[in-house]
Amino acid sequence: MPPLSPHLFWDIRAEDIDFETHAAWLARRVLEYGDWPDWQALVRYYGKDRLAEIVTGIRSLQPRALAFCKVWFDLPSSAFRCSTPPPFL
């Protein structure tokens, strides 16, 4: 487990997190509440390509987190699940 800020786990025990099973949850938590060292730890752990797969599949992200990911991964908005409209609209 890479070292992450304790404030990311205000509602759960950090040792209960499975980095593969909970990858999307963890990436979202770091994007929305983490700091730069937390993000760097995720990049080192998952690698940029795997992290791009994880992040593009997240259902919802704060606008600031989405804007960061678009620039970091050099992807258009349409590549992110959270920026596409639901099919029933």
How many other C-beta atoms can be found within 10 angstroms of the C-beta atom of residue 30? 23
The share of the chain scoring above pLDDT 90, in percent, equals 67
Q: What is the mean pLDDT of the segment spanning 45-70?
A: 95
- What value does the mean pLDDT of the chain take? 90
Measured CA to CA, the distance from residue 87 to residue 62 in angstroms comes to 20
Share of the chain above pLDDT 70, in %: 94
Q: Left (φ > 0), alpha (ψ -120 to 50) or beta: where does 47 sit? A: left
> Where do the domains of the chain lie?
19-82
Cα 61 to Cα 69: distance, rounded to the nearest angstrom: 10
**Residue 60 corresponds to which tokens in the numbers above?**
């919802």
The pTM of this model reads: 0.85
Tens of pLDDT, residue by residue over 7-31, are: 888 888 878 888 899 999 999 999 9
